[in-house]
Structure 1
Amino acid sequence: MASDAHGDEGGLVFHPMDQFIVKPLFGGGTDVGLFTITNVTLWMALAVVAVFALLVVGTKSRAMIPSRGQSIAEMAYLFIYKMVEDVAGKDAVKFFPYIMTLFMFIVMANFLGLLPMSFTTTSHFAVTAVLALAVFLTVTITGFVLHGAKFLGLFWVSSAPLPLRPILAIIELISYFVRPVSHCIRLAGNIMAGHAVIKVFAGFAAIAAVSPLAIVAITAMYGLEVLVAFIQAYVFTILTCVYLHDALHPSH
């Protein structure tokens, strides 16, 4: 990593965004097709394996005195279940498996991205956009299936003065369709920014004069990124619960 900081002329050159380049795992080329197995594919698969290992293998014994893995799995289960029940309501519990899957995949992908030589899949808008669109479509379809045309009451602010209601309806409609955009950008943007800053500090670590300060900065940023990895998964999940609540209870 330190060697990447020096250019051909001996100057200091940073490439903090190189870590986000999608590369094929096989063939040695740079072209990425629809079915090309890439570093993104690999680390997404590893995130799925990690979730399976924690929730299935880790809880296989179901011991009265739980192991560490079982304790973590049980805490995650109760944490998300309580979130769904409190934010979206008890009638949203049937969506708990989907929301739990979302949270566990995102948090595992975030934490795996903090490993040396790893690839952070949630730093790519292509990944987070698919997750956000899945939430958007699930919420929208659920709203129309359960309420039909009454779901449009979500955009009609009946408590506002009548002359303002059409204007507010347009604002609410725009806000609704902006949801998946902000949902995906928030996650990918925060993860990408933190990793880029760490790479910049790592470049400064190649300079002897500022190396100690750079190492301290890297350590501090890494600790912050561990916190961000969990917080961003939590934010994505709780916003999903908020949107689901709107689908189940659309009237203002």
Structure 2
Amino acid sequence: MAEGDATGFVIKPMDQFIVKPLFGGDHIAWYTVTNVTLWMAIAVVTIAALFMLGTRRRAIVPSRSQSVAELIYGFVHNMVEEVTGHEGVKYFPYVLTLFLFILFSNLLGLLPGSFTTTSHVAVTVVLAMMVFVGVTVLGFVKHGIGFLGMFWVTSAPLIIRPILAVIEIISYFVRPVSHSIRLAGNLMAGHAVIKVIAGFATLVVASPIVIGAVTAIYALEVLVACVQAYVFTILTCVYLRDAVGDGHH
């Protein structure tokens, strides 16, 4: 939001990402209920309402909420089956839950006065680490020490295999970093741009142009919210395929 003060025109696009306790005070501990906690809970309640209330009747001619729930369910199920294969389908409930939480957190963050929880690295890192640790543990459980075979590129000449193995290991451990920063960075950047442009709406002359620009960027952010949820989920499926696939020696 833009503010006029003694120093002139001021826009503070990053204020929207400040974590604040819901019940006053300045100290935030691990147990403090904050605006992040609130909007996470709202996302969970919204998802539950869509899938539990929207599909409770399971009519032959589906309602709008049932149609949306079935569309999302089928979309994610096909994604998991196509990327991970038949073995990966058993992990579909987790992938669906991850997709829904990120999607609804992204979309709810576009509501006026809301808080985008997935714009914080602290949130996305936890989601990414859950995937990373889960996939790694699953890989060793299913393949034992043979899981390490994914780092040994047998198709390459023997002399450069050790170098490629080091590169593959580094790439593997960088996964949660890129997985989390991609999501948080895209959402934070988009929201900051909207806030900056919207700040110029107080200038009467520029208002029509600003409103048009904000509307266009807002529509783009809706698309980004959906695409980023998809990207995070399909990368999860790719990592899951590494764990459940048969390409280990």
Give the structure-2-normalised TM-score: 0.98
How far apart are 1:8 and its partner, in Å? 2.1
Cα separation, 1, equivalents of 2:202 and 2:177: 38
> Following superposition of structure 1 onto structure 2, how do residues 53-68 of structure 1 map, counting pairs within 5 Å?
53-68=49-64
Equivalent residues of 2:143, 2:248 under 8 A apart: no
1:190 paired residue among 182, 186, 191: 186
Q: Which residue of 1 aligns with 2:167?
A: 171
Amino acid at match of 1:233: A
CA RMSD of aligned residues (A): 1.0
How far apart are 1:73 and its partner, in Å? 0.3
Q: Which residue of 2 aligns with 1:224?
A: 220
How far apart are 1:10 and its partner, in Å? 5.5
Cα separation, 2, equivalents of 1:10 and 1:216: 28
Q: Which residue of 1 aligns with 2:102?
A: 106
> Following superposition of structure 1 onto structure 2, how do residues 37-56 of structure 1 map, counting pairs within 5 Å?
37-56=33-52
2:248 paired with 1:251? yes
Cα separation, 2, equivalents of 1:230 and 1:86: 20
2:15 paired with 1:18? yes
2:142 paired with 1:146? yes
Amino acid at match of 1:110: N
Q: Secondary structure at the match of 1:31?
A: coil
Q: Which residue of 1 aligns with 2:88?
A: 92
Paired residues in the alignment total: 248
Provide structure 1 residue ranges, at least 5 long, that are not aligned to the other structure: none
2:211 paired with 1:215? yes
Cα separation, 1, equivalents of 2:192 and 2:29: 26
Equivalent residues of 2:119, 2:185 under 8 A apart: yes
How far apart are 1:251 and its partner, in Å? 3.0
Cα separation, 1, equivalents of 2:167 and 2:206: 50
Q: Secondary structure at the match of 2:204?
A: coil
Equivalent residues of 2:150, 2:248 under 8 A apart: yes
Residues 22-67 of structure 1: CA deviation (Å, up to 9, x unaligned) = 00000x2222111000000000000000110011111000111100
Cα separation, 1, equivalents of 2:5 and 2:27: 26
Cα separation, 2, equivalents of 1:109 and 1:91: 29
Runs of 4+ in 1 over 4 A off after TM superposition: none
Residues 208-233 of structure 1: CA deviation (Å, up to 9, x unaligned) = 22222111110000000010110000
Q: Which is further off, 214-223 or 9-18?
A: 9-18
How far apart are 1:7 and its partner, in Å? 3.8
Provide structure 2 residue ranges, at least 5 long, that are not aligned to the other structure: none
Q: Which residue of 2 aligns with 1:119?
A: 115
Q: Which residue of 1 aligns with 2:28?
A: 32
Q: Which residue of 2 aligns with 1:131?
A: 127
Amino acid at match of 1:200: V
Cα separation, 1, equivalents of 2:211 and 2:7: 22
Amino acid at match of 1:86: E
Q: Which residue of 1 aligns with 2:152?
A: 156
